[in-house]
C-alpha cells in the first residue's frame, strides 16, 4: 500500500479472514521453518510444508523423576490424542535402521545411549510420515541440557512441555514397592496395586535397579539435570504435581496440551456478552471499552444502525463489544449473515435469586437523580429513603418475565456460538472482568486435536 494515501480504509472482512484462517501464525511458522532448514529453493519447501497441514498436531515432551508416572501419563495422552509415543525402548527397537541397531548395541552394553546418537535417532524417527501426520510425545527425553539444545538445533520444537514432580520420599516408596510378573510383564505394587491371586503373588519379582539406594542415586542425577533443562522451554512449560491420583494428573496434562499458547498475531477483539437482565453485561462492556479502547455498542441500537456502526473504521481497527444483542437465534443468524462475527462470546450466568436481589432492591431519588440499592448502597438518611422510587421494570414480576424469556432463547444461542465461554457472574464484578479479560487475551482452548 502507498503510505501517502493513508489513512487506509480496512474492510471488516480482511481482519476476520486473517483471524479465522490463522494467516499470521501460518506466515510466522513458515518463516521459522525457512530459518531453521534454510532450503536452497524456498518455494517448493513452503508448498510441501503447507501441504502437510500438521501445524496443530501434538508435539509434547513429558519429563519427570523415576516413579513419577510419566510413562503412564505419556501412554494415556498418546491414546487419547491418537499420536505416537517415543521412548528410549521403542527408539532403539526399530527394525532395518542402522542408527537403531547401533543404539541398541550401545544400550545393551552400557545401559545408556550417547546423546549425539540418541538425537540423530529421534530426528530420523520424526521424519516418518506417521509422525508428521499424527505428531509425537517424547517420554523422558531430553535427559540433559546437552540433549535439549541438540534437539532444538535440529529444528525439533515441542509445543508443550510437562514436568511431573513429587517429594523424593514419595518417589522412593513408589519405586521400591514395584514388582513384575515375569510371565506377563504386568507391573504391580506392594502397597498400591497388589494382585489378589496367590499364584500371581508367588511369582512376582523385584525389577533390577529399584532399591532405595539406587533410586536415590537416580533422583540425585535427575535433579542435577532438570534445573538445567527447564530454561530451554521458558514459555511452554507446565509443572504438575504427581503426588495425587494418576487420573487427576492425566486430566491436568490433557487440559494443558489442548490449550493454545498466546499468539503474536494482531488481534482485534469482537466481543459478544450474553446474559439475563441484571447479569452485569453493561458494566463488563464498559470496563472492556475503558481498558482496551473497544467501541461499546449498547443494545438499544436497531439492526440497520448497528450494521452501519460496526462497519466504521474505529470498530474495524479497535474492535467492539456488543451486549444485549442478539437476543435470539434469528438475530444471531442475521448478525452473522451481515458479516459481523464475534471472535469471543461470553455467557454470564446468574441465579434467579441473585438477579431478583440485584434489581428489585434498586431505587432512584426523584429529587437528585441519585441511584441507590437497599442492600449494597443504602440511602444515607431516612428522609431520602422515604422518597425513593422503584422503576416499574424492576418489579419482581417483570424481572422474572425477562429472565424466563432470556433462558428460553439462550440454549439455541449457546448451540449457535459453539466456542462460547460460560462465566459465573454471581460474584464481584471485577473478578468477573478478570475472567472475561483472560478469555479475550488467551487463545480459545482446543476441543480435540
Assess contact for 113 and 150: CB atoms under 8 A: no
Q: pLDDT tens digits, residue range 201-236? A: 888 888 887 888 888 999 999 999 999 999 999 889
Q: pLDDT tens digits, residue range 304-320? A: 778 788 888 888 888 89
Helices 115-125 and 145-153, packing angle to 10 deg: 40
Residue 6's pLDDT band (cuts 50, 70, 90): low
Whole-prediction pTM value?
0.66
Average pLDDT for 292-305: 74
| Full DSSP string of 165-199 | E--HHHHHHHHHTEEE-TTT--EEETTTB--S-HH
Is pLDDT at 55 greater than 80 in this prediction? no
Cα dihedral sign, 427-433-434-439:
positive
**Domain assignments of the chain as residue spans, ordered by start:** 54-257, 270-441
CATH fold of 270-441 reads: Rossmann fold (3.40.50)
Given this model, what pLDDT does residue 449 score?
43
Q: Which three cell numbers stand for residue 391?
A: 422503576
Mean pLDDT check: name the lowest of 48-52, 114-118, 221-225.
Answer: 48-52
Average pLDDT for 381-403: 90
**Other Cβ atoms closer than 10 A to 273:** 27
The whole-chain average pLDDT of the chain stands at 86
CATH of domain 54-257: 3.40.50.300
Q: pLDDT tens digits, residue range 315-348? A: 888 889 988 888 888 889 888 888 888 989 999 9
Angle at the Cα of 243 (from 241 to 244), degrees rounded to 5? 95
User: Cis bond leading into 153, ω under 30°?
Assistant: no
322 or 264, which is more confident? 322
Helix (H) / strand (E) element for 135: namely none
Q: Do 54-257 and 270-441 share a fold?
A: yes
Range 31-34 contact pairs with CB under 8 angstroms and sequence separation of 24 or more: 33/155
Assess contact for 366 and 387: CB atoms under 8 A: yes
Residue 1's pLDDT band (cuts 50, 70, 90): very low
Amino acid at each position: 500500500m502507498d503510505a501517502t494515501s493513508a489513512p487506509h480504509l480496512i474492510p471488516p472482512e480482511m481482519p476476520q479472514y486473517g483471524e479465522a484462517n490463522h494467516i499470521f501464525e501460518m506466515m510466522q511458522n513458515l518463516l521459522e521453518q525457512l530459518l531453521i532448514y534454510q532450503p536452497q529453493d524456498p518455494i517448493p519447501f513452503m508448498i510441501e510444508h503447507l501441504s502437510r497441514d500438521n501445524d496443530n498436531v501434538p508435539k509434547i515432551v513429558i519429563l519427570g523423576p523415576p516413579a513419577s508416572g510419566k510413562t503412564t501419563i505419556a501412554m494415556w495422552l498418546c491414546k487419547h490424542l491418537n499420536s505416537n509415543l517415543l521412548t528410549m525402548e521403542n527408539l532403539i527397537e526399530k527394525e532395518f535402521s542402522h542408527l537403531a541397531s547401533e543404539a541398541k548395541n550401545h544400550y545393551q552394553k552400557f545401559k545408556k545411549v550417547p546423546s549425539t546418537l540418541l538425537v540423530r535417532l529421534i530426528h530420523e524417527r520424526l521424519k516418518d510420515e506417521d509422525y508428521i501426520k499424527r505428531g509425537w510425545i517424547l517420554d523422558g527425553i531430553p535427559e540433559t541440557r546437552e540433549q535439549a539444545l541438540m534437539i532444538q538445533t535440529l529444528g525439533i520444537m515441542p509445543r508443550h512441555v510437562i514436568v511431573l514432580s513429587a517429594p523424593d520420599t514419595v518417589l522412593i516408596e513408589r519405586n521400591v514397592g514395584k514388582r513384575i510378573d515375569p510371565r506377563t510383564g504386568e507391573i504391580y505394587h506392594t502397597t498400591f496395586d497388589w494382585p489378589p491371586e496367590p499364584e500371581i503373588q508367588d511369582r512376582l519379582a523385584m525389577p533390577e535397579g529399584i532399591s532405595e539406594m539406587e533410586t536415590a542415586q537416580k533422583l540425585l542425577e535427575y535433579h542435577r539435570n532438570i534445573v538445567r533443562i527447564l530454561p530451554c522451554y521458558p514459555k511452554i512449560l507446565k509443572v504438575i504435581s504427581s503426588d495425587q491420583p494418576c487420573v487427576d494428573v492425566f486430566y491436568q496434562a490433557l487440559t494443558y496440551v489442548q490449550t493454545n499458547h498466546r499468539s503474536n498475531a494482531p488481534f482485534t477483539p469482537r466481543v459478544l456478552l450474553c446474559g439475563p437482565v441484571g447479569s452485569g453485561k453493561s458494566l463488563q462492556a464498559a470496563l472492556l471499552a475503558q481498558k482496551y479502547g473497544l467501541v461499546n455498542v449498547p443494545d438499544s441500537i436497531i439492526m440497520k444502525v448497528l450494521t452501519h456502526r460496526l462497519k466504521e473504521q474505529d470498530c474495524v481497527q479497535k474492535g467492539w463489544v456488543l451486549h444485549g444483542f442478539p437476543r435470539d437465534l434469528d438475530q444471531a443468524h442475521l448478525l452473522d449473515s451481515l458479516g459481523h462475527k464475534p471472535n469471543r462470546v461470553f455467557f454470564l450466568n446468574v441465579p434467579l435469586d441473585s438477579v431478583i436481589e440485584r434489581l428489585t432492591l434498586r431505587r432512584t431519588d426523584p429529587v437528585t437523580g441519585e441511584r441507590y440499592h437497599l442492600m449494597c448502597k443504602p440511602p444515607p438518611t431516612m428522609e431520602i429513603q422515604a422518597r425513593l422510587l422503584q422503576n416499574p421494570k424492576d418489579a419482581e414480576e417483570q424481572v422474572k418475565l425477562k429472565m424466563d424469556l432470556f433462558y428460553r432463547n439462550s440454549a439455541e444461542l449457546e448451540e449457535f456460538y459453539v466456542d462460547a465461554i460460560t462465566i459465573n457472574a454471581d460474584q464481584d464484578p471485577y473478578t468477573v472482568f478478570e475472567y472475561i479479560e483472560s478469555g479475550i487475551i488467551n487463545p480459545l482452548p482446543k476441543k480435540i486435536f
